Amino acid sequence: MIDMVFLLLLFFLVVSNPKTIKIDPRVQPPVAANGQAAKSLHGKIVINIRDDGALLAEDLKTIFDGVEDLKDYLEKEKDKVKAKGKTPVLHIRGDKRANFKFCQRVIKAGAAAGIDSLAYGAYNKAPPRSAK
């Protein structure tokens, strides 16, 4: 009986494929009182928008100089997601102090790259205040 439990445990560990979105600590998303948690994180292509308008990929190392660089990145990521059999979703994590024009640039680059699904990152309640 114990052997069977361990086999099932091993099976589920091998089959499951957890995905977490890396969070940029410098981005403070807005609060959305009626926000809902994402049903699936698979297929998400995350772009962080900092309060100064800087656009970063999920790895927080890739900084985009212009909309054309962003579009090229989104096209490559879209192809990777589609190769895995998933639907690509542009996931925007914008800082609450960032001007909306930066979000519009990301949306336009996503549309130009052929991504037609969009998700926004927001808190569904106010985040706890950090002690300073």
Q: Could you report the per-residue pLDDT of 82-94, keeping only the tens digit for each?
A: 999 999 999 999 9
Report the pLDDT value the prediction gives residue 132, as an integer from 0 to 100.
46
Residues sharing a CB contact under 8 Å with residue 78, sequence separation 6 or more, in sequence order: 45, 88, 113, 114, 115
Asked whether residue 131 carries a pLDDT value surpassing 60, the answer given is no
Average predicted confidence (pLDDT) for the chain: 84
Task: List pLDDT tens digits, range 6-47.
Answer: 888 887 777 665 666 677 888 888 888 777 776 666 788 999
**Average confidence (pLDDT) over 45-55:** 92
Q: Which run of H or of E encompasses 90?
A: strand 89-94
Helices (H), the chain: 2-15, 67-83, 100-112
**Average confidence (pLDDT) over 50-70:** 91
In contact, 26 and 52? CB cutoff 8 Å: no
Asked whether residue 124 carries a pLDDT value surpassing 70, the answer given is yes
Asked whether residue 97 carries a pLDDT value surpassing 90, the answer given is yes
Report the pLDDT value the prediction gives residue 130, as an integer from 0 to 100.
56
In the chain, domain spans = 29-120
The CATH number of domain 29-120, selected from 3.40.50.20, 3.40.50.970, 3.40.50.2300, 3.30.420.270? 3.30.420.270
